[in-house]
Chains A and B, each alone.
Chain A
């Protein structure tokens, strides 16, 4: 009974303990601004993590999310700076990329029978190259010189930048950034979708036993493709937030986004003893990592100790999960 409780609430207790520790050790850690900032710093990886959770639910994996995000960032920048389009066009371009990549990933995995890791790995490389082709490897910013010698004069539209920079009044004026709202809304949406809709529950069924689900008459292939489309769209939303925050199209692989997102989703397995991918856990996992990094940085810990601690937390979370799942099925 004790152990059950330990496993069920252990991770939440750890998170609370961590916050208490930083509150004492780091000046200025406890404040509404600090809390909001933690959410802002994990907003982008959090959105990616929620997307990859959908593929984990159907027993798959998506390695391409990091590069989908950076490709979306480049596409948004290209649309506004080079093609001089408005924010709506830029956002739509990103979402279309997300849907397309998701469909192609799903098609490769379901119909071409390429294993998920390999298909999405291929997609990752493909996108890394593709995002550089239009500008021949240059980063995109207003005033840049194009390969043909002309100068790109478009600007990031104010409406688009607001997605990354505008703050909404919430008790304190200018408190909550839009990106945090996006994260919370998407988290609630995907949580409700996976836990309480028939569609979501069928996705879990596909993930736990594909053959049984198929024999029960579920359109397994469609569910799997949908999972990758969700992942692609979430990743492209992450890319939109990234572009809005940076205000430019940076050449970047997005590999760190991928790793952080996957870490958040895996830590999520351990939250409330779920021992399976779940949206609530993923959100808590992302915040957990955010709290850690905020606290450690405030205490002047260098980046490698932060990686070390991140890794240690992930390992502990996985032990929680797999120790539990071993006993849970007796």
Chain B
């Protein structure tokens, strides 16, 4: 399973994403996002989770009107932006 990081615009947005994922059985954690991942806009929150099928997760996020989001795949301390 791949690990992903979704950048949320606010803590409320991050919490709603976390709860949405939890309802789908995906355990997620909220972190203060690394500054470099937020396009120079400053403080933000990131929701980290593992999943097999990112497309269906994104479908769920956008379906719940919680988009747009920036998504990164992460591993070994590296972040790679995923085109949504």
Partners in one complex: no
Q: Which residues of B contact A (CB under 8 A)?
A: none
